[in-house]
Amino acid sequence: MGLLDGELAIVTGGGAGIGRATCERFAQEGARVAVLDIDPESAAQVAADVGGVAVVADVADPEQCARGIAEAHEALGGLTILVNNAGVGAAMPLHSYSDDDWGRIIGVNLSGTFYAMRAAIPLMRKSGGCIVNNASLTGVRPTRYEAPYSAAKAGVISLTMAAALEYAPSIRVNCVSPGFIDTALTEIVLVDDERRAIVEKATPLQRVGTPEDCANVILFLASPLAGYVTGQNILIDGGSFLPNTQADAVLQSFVARNTKDS
């Protein structure tokens, strides 16, 4: 018997990284999964691997996002779990971000989460369900050079808590806040052994996190084990939130090497 037997789940950004690991973990625990991603190939690949369905949509586009949620709901024959995981980031001084950079980072991370929740909640209200949003440690403790991303993720945490209040008791809404996790999103920073070692040293648990570390916590929040948990934000950061300034050094050296500061 699995923790998610009979559950019907949508995972946005399910084509890679933490989203992919979440699709795999959910399927292992008995859920039927819709892999919603902007990238058709990775969505199709993960859907095939987990015996689920692929849905292609850009969550930052309100119409595409609403259509994607409706399509996934139809293909699954219902909806009981939504994981808002799609996200994009960038690292540069605040004054270097263009309108497009700002629009994309807020659009995917914050607006995309809002659009998907707005579309999914009416589909879940009758039978109940739960939502897990993927925020970030930067949403709790902003990171130098990631101002738009930090602001977007702080918004995701706030959106999570507001929705938890509004939709209790029928829908539980929680979020996770990963620290440094080994995915495509962090490969610009974890480019070599030297920088990886700096992150590891600055992390109390002495390693970079894995997508599976995150998938396990998302699984917990989506499962009946968290039946009395709503409006919470769980940090998956190896203890990095605890006072420590060394992790910043990695981003500082990256930005110094890669941007021309005017």
Whole-number minimum distance, CB 50 to ligand NAD, in Å? 14
Q: Does 238 bind ligand NAD (CB under 6 A)?
A: no
Question: With binding defined as CB under 6 A, does residue 221 bind ligand NAD?
Answer: no
**Per CB under 6 A, does 15 bind ligand NAD?**
yes
198 contributes a contact to ligand NAD by CB under 6 A: no
**Least separation in angstroms between CB 108 and ligand NAD:** 4
For residue 10, the minimal CB distance to ligand NAD (Å) is 11
Q: Give yes or no for a contact between 175 and 134, defined as CB atoms under 8 angstroms apart.
A: yes
- End-to-end, the C-alpha distance of the chain in Å comes to 59
Which CB, 224 or 239, lies closer to ligand NAD? 239
| 115 catalytically annotated | no
Q: Is 186 in the site for ligand NAD (CB under 6 A)?
A: yes
- Whether residue 104 contacts residue 58, with contact meaning beta carbons closer than 8 Å, is answered with no
Q: Does residue 180 touch ligand NAD according to CB under 6 A?
A: yes
Catalytic (active-site) positions: 149
Instruction: List residues near ligand NAD by CB under 6 A.
Output: 12-13, 15-19, 37-39, 42, 58-60, 85-89, 108-109, 112, 134, 136, 178, 180-181, 183-186
